[in-house]
Amino acid sequence: MVTFLIIVAIAVAGFVAWKLRVQILAKILGQPESRIERQLNRRRRD
């Protein structure tokens, strides 16, 4: 039961991090969100 809860918690944290990745990276790197978003979109297209 505890293992299941840990797996669910990791999955939820991963999902939230994926949804907020632009804001998180902008805070960590100290760059504007628009620049981070452009970089992520450029990598996805290549």
Task: Determine the longest span between alpha carbons in the chain, in angstroms.
Answer: 42
- Output the CA angle 16-20-21, nearest 5 degrees: 110
In this prediction, residue 45 has a pLDDT band, given cuts at 50, 70 and 90, of: low
pTM above 0.75, yes or no: no
8 A C-beta contact, residue 20 and residue 9: no
Number of domains in the chain: 1
Q: Write out pLDDT tens, residues 10-29.
A: 999 999 999 999 999 999 99
The average confidence (pLDDT) of the chain is 90
Q: Give domain status of residue 33, yes or no.
A: yes
**What are the start-end ranges of the H helices in 2-32?**
2-19, 21-29
In this prediction, residue 40 has a pLDDT band, given cuts at 50, 70 and 90, of: confident
Q: Give domain status of residue 42, yes or no.
A: yes
Domain that holds residue 26: 15-46
Whats the size of the chain, residue-wise?
Answer: 46
- What the block records as the tokens of 45 is 């297209």
Q: Give domain status of residue 5, yes or no.
A: no
In this prediction, residue 44 has a pLDDT band, given cuts at 50, 70 and 90, of: low
Q: How far apart are CA 7 and CA 13, in angstroms?
A: 10
